Amino acid sequence: MRRLTLRTKRSPVDAQDGMTLVELMIGLAIVAILLVAAAPAFSDYIINARLRESGNLLYSQALIAQSEAIKRNNVVRLSTAGSVIQVVDRSDPGAPVVLHERRTAEGVTLSAADVDFGGQGWPLNFGAAAVDLATAAGACSSQIRCPGLRVDGGGGVRLCGDHTAVCP
């Protein structure tokens, strides 16, 4: 009969567990090189995310201004300047009431514009209105896409992905 015994010591030919310090340092060096290579693209991603977030905020505030004008059957203004977006009830021009006030993400600026929506939800001047977003440095390019809000004469509100390109 054969006897089974447990081995308590490993022989030198057994497989090694874990990593050596050299392997760990090589792995860390590779990760560091990849991070350095990805840093510029990551900063562009952060800027684009802030611009998209601010564009969506502007779009939602424009729709709120339009729906408030319809609900109140009176003039409501979407006003933008710097990094502030305001929705203002203009039923009494002598004493306007701020209904909503929001700020864009850090480092994002808006072109100054006032869009007045009437009780039908149409812009009062019946002309197209535009509000463009940009970074504080004003750098819009193929990598940094600056959105723009467009309001047409019929009351259509849309957000363009990049106002430097053609916005249908």
Residues 92 and 72 sit within 8 Å (Cβ to Cβ):
no
60: number of Cβ within 10 Å: 15
Q: Summarize the confidence of residues 74-82 as an average pLDDT.
A: 93
Q: What is the mean pLDDT of the chain?
A: 87
**pLDDT (tens digit, 9 = 90+) per residue, 18-40?**
889 999 999 999 999 998 988 88
Domains of the chain, by residue range, sit at 21-160
What is the arithmetic mean of pLDDT over 131-149? 85
The predicted model gives 42-53 an average pLDDT of 91
Q: What is the arrangement of strands in the sheet containing 148-151, beginning at the earlier edge strand?
A: 97-103, 84-89, 76-82, 108-117, 129-135, 148-151, 157-160
DSSP 127-144: S-EEEEEEETT----SSS
Q: Give the residue with greater pLDDT, 167 vs 23.
A: 23
Please tell me the CATH superfamily of domain 21-160, with its number.
minor pseudopilin epsh domain (3.55.40.10)
pTM for the model stands at 0.77
How confident is the model at residue 69, as a pLDDT?
95
Instruction: Work out the average pLDDT over 44-67.
Output: 94
Between 87 and 2, the more confident residue is: 87
Which pLDDT tens digit goes with each residue over 91-107? 888 899 999 999 999 99
pLDDT digits (tens, 9 = 90+) for 107-122: 999 999 999 999 999 9
Tell me which amino acid residue 56 is.
Answer: N
- Per-residue model confidence (pLDDT) at position 125: 78
Among candidate residues 158, 166, 130, 143, the one with its CA nearest the CA of residue 48 = 143
Please, what is the end-to-end C-alpha distance for the chain in angstroms?
88
With a CB cutoff of 8 Å and minimum separation 6, the contacts of 70 are 117, 119, 120, 121
In this prediction, residues 80-86 reach a mean pLDDT of: 94
